Structure 1
Amino acid sequence: MAFRYTRFAWALLMLTALGLELAAVAFQYLLGLDPCVMCVYERLAVIGLIGAGLLGLINPRQSFLRILGYLVWAVSAGWGLALALEHVYLQRNPEAAMGCSFLPEFPDWMPLHEWIPTLFLPTGYCDDIQWQWLSLSMPEWMVVVFGTYLVVLGIVLVTEVRGLRGSAA
C-alpha cells in the first residue's frame, strides 16, 4: 500500500503542523516573544496544514478527501510561504514595515483576533527580530518550513500521478 494512503502519513502532516503551532504558543507565552500581524497570518496558514492533515486522516483511501487534503495543503503552504517571504522582506527593510498593520484584517464575519486573542491578537511589530537560531530569524525559518511542506507535497503528488498511471495500465 502506498504511504499516501495510510493514516500515519496524514497524521504526520497534522502532527508536524500541530507541533509548529504549539511551538509558536510556547515562544509567545513561555519565552515572551510578541507575535506581529504577519506571525498571526502565518499561524493561520499552519492551522490550514493541520486541517489538511485532518482531511486526509478521515479516510486517506477516499480520493475526494485525499485530493481536498492536497488542495488545502497546497494553499496553506503556498500562502504561508508568501507570507513568510513578505515577513522576511519587512524585517530586512524596516521602512517598509511601517505599512504593516497592527491588527489583523480578518473578515467581519470571522474576527479571529477577537474570538481567540490568545492565538490571533498580534502584540509585536513586523520588523522586530526577537529570536534567531543558526543566524536565521523566525520568518526565515518559516520560509524553510513552508518550502519544505511544498517540496514534500510535490513528491506526494508525483507519486499520486505515477500511482494513477500504474493503475490505469
Structure 2
Amino acid sequence: MIEFLRHLVTTRLAWGLLAASALFLELCALFFQHVLGLQPCVMCIYERLAVLGVLCAGLLGMAAPQKWYIRWGAMLLWGYSSLKGLQLALKHVDYQMNPSPFNVCSPYADFPSWLPLDQWLPWLFLPSGDCGEITWQFLSFSMPQWLVAFFAAYLLVFIVIAIVDLIKRRCCN
C-alpha cells in the first residue's frame, strides 16, 4: 500500500484528480450563484479562495510531480488551503448554527489593497449574501457543512500523502 501511494504522489493523474475535484467544487459554486441565484456571503468567498488554492496546488503538482521541490510546493499549498478552508467552513457553520447579533460575519470581503479581487472579478468574489442564512440543504446539511466534509477529506488525504512521501526518503530507497 505504501509503495502504491509513493508511486501515486509522483503521477500527473493523482494531481489532476485533485485539481479536477477542486474545479468541480468551484463550478458548483458558480452554478449555485449564477444559475440558482444563491448569493455568496463573505465566508463563501473566502471558502471559494481556499478551494482555488487546492485547484492551484493540483495544477502545480501536475506540472512536474517527479521533482520533489515542485511536488512539495504543491503539497504545502494543498495542505495550507485545506486547513484554512476547514477553519473557514467551521466558522461559517458556527455562524449558521449559533445566530446572534454578536456572532455575524462582515458584509465586505477584506482583500488587501494590492489585490482587490472583489473589484477585479465581482462575478466571482463579490459577497452579497448573509453568512447566517441557510439557503440550500442537501440530505439536511447546509453548504458550509458539506464544505467541512470536503476540506476535512482534502486535509486527511494531504496528511497521508505527506507522511508517505516523507517515509519514502527515510526507508526503502
- What TM-score bracket applies, with the shorter chain setting the length? over 0.9
2:100 aligned partner, one-letter code: E
1:60 pairs, out of 62, 65, 68, with: 65
Q: What do residues 31-70 of structure 1 show as CA deviations (whole Å, max 9, x unaligned)?
A: 1111000000000000000110111111000000000011
Q: Within the alignment, does 1:115 sit opposite 2:135 as a pair?
A: no
Where in structure 2 are the equivalents of 1:52-131 lying within 5 Å?
A: 52-95=57-100, 99-131=104-136
Looking at structure 2, the residues matched to 97 and 128 of structure 1 have their Cα atoms a distance apart, in angstroms, of 15
CA contact (8 A) 1:10 1:53 kept: yes
Task: Identify which of 15, 19, 44 aligns with 2:20.
Answer: 15
Specify the code of the residue in structure 2 equivalent to 1:16: S
Give structure 1 stretches of 5+ with no counterpart.
none
Q: Secondary structure at the match of 1:125?
A: coil
What is the TM-score when the length of structure 1 is the normalising length?
Answer: 0.95
* RMSD, matched Cα: 1.3
Could you give the per-residue CA deviations for residues 97-142 of structure 1, whole angstroms, max 9, x where no partner exists? 7641111000000000000001100110000100011111000000
Query: Could you state the TM-score of these two structures normalised by the residue count of structure 2?
Result: 0.93
1:163 Cα shift?
1.7
2:141 to 130, 136, 143: 136
Please tell me whether the aligned partners of residues 21 and 46 of structure 1 are also in contact (alpha carbons under 8 angstroms).
Answer: yes
Moved over 4 A (4+): none
State the Cα distance separating 1:11 from its structure 2 match: 0.5
Identity %, equivalent residues: 47
